């Protein structure tokens, strides 16, 4: 499968975003001033209280929302809109219910014009990353929530995006499944090394996953903390690990002061 990622750097420079709120008849500044340099292959968690601008920031990087100020560039090229170089996974995202799981995962490659047989093969390879190759012929509604979420993650990966943008993708699954998904995601990331921006308001999740945790507060970066923990990361070991607990409590106190 090979990784084949070509992106060098994602640079977010003094970015701001102001919405016009038609109900209030006024402008709302969701993102005041955010700068962030993300290196190829880095795993970054962005954490902060509800309303601090996480989703707004992600949508601007995805190219779904125009920025109000500053710049967002990939390899010095400004982002002008959505692109196949960036894959997005939301908390509630729709798999196509009328397509099989395999067809869902192979959809991106198919849209790039690859022959059906090859797309089926790609879908199987990606499904096997999360142990789901046996459900390729099933339809999404035959799968549990956790399985659907896994399919969503590998569907995004099957496009070989340089950057994977994830907005609270595990927020709606039960606690045990969530831990498994977190471990799986770190494994996939280690094997393939896409750049990941992972949004969450869950502090342990942010620390468990990332190389760096960026804490946002009211549309600004409050803290950018490197997480020096060995990989592979496994909950069974980390849950009692003093270094892990130390990082978690540092991030927590920042988030609570945010």
Ligand X SMILES: Nc1ncnc2c1ncn2[C@@H]1O[C@H](COP(=O)(O)OP(=O)(O)O)[C@@H](O)[C@H]1O
Name which of 189, 213, 199, 161 is nearest 7 in CA terms: 161
Q: Give me the least distance between CB of 21 and ligand X, in Å please.
A: 5
Smaller CB distance to Mg ion: residue 56 or 100? 56
Smaller CB distance to ligand X: residue 234 or 252? 252
- The tokens for 235 are 């909950």
Smaller CB distance to ligand X: residue 58 or 130? 58
Per-residue DSSP letter, 142: G
What's the CA gap between 151 and 105, in Å, rounded? 7
Kindly report the number of other CB atoms within 10 A of residue 145's CB atom.
Answer: 11
By CB under 6 A, name the binding residues for ligand X: 19, 21, 28, 30, 48, 50-56
Q: Please name every residue paired with 166 in a beta bridge, in sequence order, or none if there are none.
A: 89, 198
Residue 113's φ and ψ, nearest 5 degrees, are 95, 10
Q: 248 by DSSP, 3-state: which?
A: helix
Smaller CB distance to Mg ion: residue 91 or 250? 91
- Select the span of 26-34, 54-62, 75-83, 85-93 touching Mg ion (CB under 5 A): 54-62
Q: Give me the least distance between CB of 92 and ligand X, in Å please.
A: 14
Q: 105 by DSSP, 3-state: which?
A: helix
Q: Give me the least distance between CB of 202 and Mg ion, in Å please.
A: 12
Q: Choosing among ligand X, Mg ion, none, which partner's interface includes residue 94 (Cβ < 5 to 8 Å by kind)?
A: none
Confirm or reject binding of residue 45 to Mg ion (CB under 5 A): no
Confirm or reject binding of residue 160 to Mg ion (CB under 5 A): no
Q: Choosing among Mg ion, ligand X, none, which partner's interface includes residue 45 (Cβ < 5 to 8 Å by kind)?
A: none
Q: Please name every residue paired with 33 in a beta bridge, in sequence order, or none if there are none.
A: 220
Residue bearing tokens 């600004």: 220
Smaller CB distance to ligand X: residue 15 or 151? 15
Q: Choosing among ligand X, Mg ion, none, which partner's interface includes residue 226 (Cβ < 5 to 8 Å by kind)?
A: none
Q: Give me the least distance between CB of 203 and ligand X, in Å please.
A: 14
Q: Report the greatest alpha carbon distance in the chain.
A: 53
Kindly report the number of other CB atoms within 10 A of residue 37's CB atom.
Answer: 11
Q: Give me the least distance between CB of 93 and ligand X, in Å please.
A: 15
In this structure, are residues 100 and 137 in contact, taking their beta carbons and an 8 Å threshold?
A: yes
Q: Give me the least distance between CB of 54 and Mg ion, in Å please.
A: 5
Q: How many residues bind Mg ion (CB under 5 A)?
A: 2
What's the CA gap between 144 and 150, in Å, rounded? 10
Q: Choosing among Mg ion, ligand X, none, which partner's interface includes residue 50 (Cβ < 5 to 8 Å by kind)?
A: ligand X
In this structure, are residues 222 and 215 in contact, taking their beta carbons and an 8 Å threshold?
A: yes
Confirm or reject binding of residue 55 to Mg ion (CB under 5 A): yes
| Binding residues for Mg ion restricted to 216-255, rule: CB under 5 A | none
Q: Give me the least distance between CB of 33 and ligand X, in Å please.
A: 14
Tell me, rounded to whole angstroms, the distance of Cα 33 from its chain centroid: 21
What's the CA gap between 222 and 213, in Å, rounded? 11
Interface residue list for Mg ion (CB under 5 A): 54-55
């Amino acid at each position: 499968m090979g990784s084949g990622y070509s992106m060098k750097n994602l640079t977010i420079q003094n970015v701001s975003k102001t919405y016009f709120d038609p109900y209030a008849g006024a402008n709302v500044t969701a993102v005041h001033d955010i700068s962030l340099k993300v290196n190829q292959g880095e795993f970054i968690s962005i954490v902060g209280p509800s309303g601090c601008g996480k989703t707004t920031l992600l949508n601007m990087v995805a190219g779904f929302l125009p920025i109000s100020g500053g710049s967002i560039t990939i390899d010095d090229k400004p982002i002008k809109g959505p692109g196949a170089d960036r894959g997005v996974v939301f908390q509630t995202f729709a798999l196509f219910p009328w397509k099989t799981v395999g067809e869902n995962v192979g959809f991106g490659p198919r849209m790039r014009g690859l022959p059906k047989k090859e797309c089926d093969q790609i879908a199987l390879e990606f499904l096997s990353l999360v142990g789901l190759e046996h459900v390729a012929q099933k339809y999404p509604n035959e799968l549990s929530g956790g399985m659907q979420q896994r399919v969503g993650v590998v569907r995004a990966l099957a496009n070989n995006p340089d950057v994977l943008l994830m907005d609270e993708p595990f927020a709606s699954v039960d606690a045990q499944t969530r831990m498994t998904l977190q471990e799986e995601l770190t494994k996939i990331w280690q094997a393939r090394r896409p750049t990941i921006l992972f949004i969450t308001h869950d502090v342990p999740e942010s620390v468990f996953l990332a190389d760096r945790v960026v804490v946002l507060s009211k549309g600004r970066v409050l803290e950018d903390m490197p997480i020096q923990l060995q990989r592979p990361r496994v909950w069974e070991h980390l849950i009692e690990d003093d270094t892990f607990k130390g990082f978690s409590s540092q991030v927590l106190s920042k988030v609570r002061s945010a």
